[in-house]
């Protein structure tokens, strides 16, 4: 069990209000996927110590008000509009090369997985970065539930495309719905994390609530938000940004300071909030977890 020791960034009572007034602390944490159904109250639980932040946490107010979510708008100021995306009921379709294609309710899914908190660095391809406490469960657990067939080589994540709630969908320039994907061995990697919470609360719609993915070794555009469908394919999918501009955005999109974007350097990154510029690290500093995935893929465009 985790040691009960409070740190500066941990959930404070003020942070869980006012939602806690409605749901109660236990209900709130459960809704965020922080608390397993049978689990003990993790009020002072430490985040998973395997994943070291290495820098200060980004202030919650920046992480939740400066967002890329093109279904709403191309600007970063979409957090108010995003409140229109209803977070329940929410279902996820499991499709393609799986033992039994089906649709599963998010709350049903949450009963079948073990949840935890992880602090991850996030590096956008546009060079801004943040460090936040996500809560959720490993994608590996979801793979076990989905039961992909042996022929499945890739996993595809599809975001919600709710025309009533998302005005950006009217822009015909983009190949909606937003889809992203991983090779199946990347998906099985311990770092690949399904997110249901942020700063100890349900992940808000602007950050991809109620279910998004976090892939901290890749540029941020790989981490699809508000996921409604997960499919398994034999062929590598054409993904949103690659389809739009393959000269600038690829399928693999692993972070690498030495490989420039065609229009800017990736050597450094700007921390959201403080504005501090810091050096970017290969695989965003997660090479110990993921570098091995690419040993046999040296011929691919791994870093764009
Ligand atoms: N569906 C969808 N997912 C998305 C995006 C998007 O526009 N639509 N933007 C991506 C990009 S470019 C980044 S950097 C992250 C931003 O996540 P955040 O708002 O939680 O920081 O979401 C990614 N996931
Ligand atoms: Mo991004």
- Running along the chain, 304 residues long, what does each successive block of 10 average in pLDDT? 37 37 50 52 74 97 98 98 98 98 98 98 98 98 98 98 98 97 98 98 98 99 98 97 97 98 98 98 98 97 97
Return the residue whose CA atom lies nearest to atom 7 of ligand 1. Answer: 69
Longest Cα separation, the chain:
55
The rounded distance, in Å, linking the Cα atoms of 98 and 151 is 9
pLDDT of res. 201: 98
CATH code linked to domain 13-253: 3.90.420.10
pLDDT of res. 166: 98
Q: Alpha helix locations (H) across the chain?
A: 13-16, 19-31, 60-63, 79-82, 106-111, 139-146, 184-188, 240-244, 287-290
Among the atoms of ligand 1, which is closest to the Cα of residue 124?
Answer: 14
pLDDT of res. 210: 98
pLDDT of res. 34: 56
Domain limits, the chain: 13-253
Please state the pTM of the whole predicted model. 0.89
pLDDT of res. 17: 36
Return the residue whose CA atom lies nearest to atom 19 of ligand 1. Answer: 67
**Residue 247, class by beta-carbon neighbours within 10 Å (0-12 exposed, 13-18 middle, 19+ buried)?**
exposed
Instruction: Name the closest ligand to CA 125.
Output: 2
| Residue whose CB lies within 8 A of the most ligand 1 atoms, among 58, 68, 125, for a mutation test | 68
Neighbours of 39 (CB within 10 A): 15
The rounded distance, in Å, linking the Cα atoms of 51 and 157 is 24
Contact 35, 42 (CB under 8 A): yes
pLDDT of res. 45: 74
Structure-block tokens of residue 287: 């090479």
Ligand 1 in reach of 70 Cβ (< 6 A):
yes
Residues surrounding ion ligand 2 at CB below 5 Å: 68, 124, 220-221
pLDDT of res. 4: 37
pLDDT of res. 94: 98
- Residue position matching structure tokens 């022929």: 151
Among the atoms of ligand 1, which is closest to the Cα of residue 177?
Answer: 1
**Residue 43, class by beta-carbon neighbours within 10 Å (0-12 exposed, 13-18 middle, 19+ buried)?**
middle
């Amino acid at each position: 069990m985790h040691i009960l020791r409070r740190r500066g960034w941990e959930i404070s009572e003020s942070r869980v209000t006012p939602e806690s007034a409605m749901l109660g602390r236990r209900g709130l944490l459960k809704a965020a996927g922080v608390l397993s159904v049978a689990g003990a109250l993790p009020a002072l639980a430490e985040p998973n110590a395997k994943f070291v932040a290495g820098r200060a946490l980004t202030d919650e107010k920046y992480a939740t008000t400066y967002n890329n979510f093109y279904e709403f708008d191309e600007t970063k100021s979409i957090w108010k509009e995003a409140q229109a995306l209803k977070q329940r009921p929410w279902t996820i379709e499991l499709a393609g090369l799986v033992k039994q294609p089906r649709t599963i309710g998010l709350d049903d899914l949450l009963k079948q997985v073990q949840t935890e908190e992880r602090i991850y660095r996030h590096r956008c391809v546009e060079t801004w970065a943040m460090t936040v406490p996500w809560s959720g469960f490993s994608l590996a657990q979801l793979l076990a539930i989905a039961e992909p067939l042996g022929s499945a080589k890739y996993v595809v994540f599809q975001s919600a495309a709710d025309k009533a709630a998302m005005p950006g969908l009217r822009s015909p320039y983009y190949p909606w719905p937003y889809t992203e994907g991983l090779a199946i061995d990347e998906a099985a990697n311990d770092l690949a994390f399904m997110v249901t919470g942020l700063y100890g609360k349900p992940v808000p719609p602007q950050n991809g609530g109620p279910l998004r993915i976090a892939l901290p070794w890749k540029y941020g555009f790989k981490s699809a938000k508000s996921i409604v469908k997960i499919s398994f394919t034999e062929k590598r999918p054409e993904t949103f940004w690659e389809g739009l501009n393959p000269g600038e955005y690829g399928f693999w999109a692993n972070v690498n300071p030495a490989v420039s974007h065609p229009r800017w350097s990736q050597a450094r990154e700007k921390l959201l909030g403080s504005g501090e510029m810091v050096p970017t690290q290969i695989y965003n500093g997660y090479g110990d977890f993921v570098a091995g995935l690419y040993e046999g893929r040296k011929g691919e465009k791994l870093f764009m």
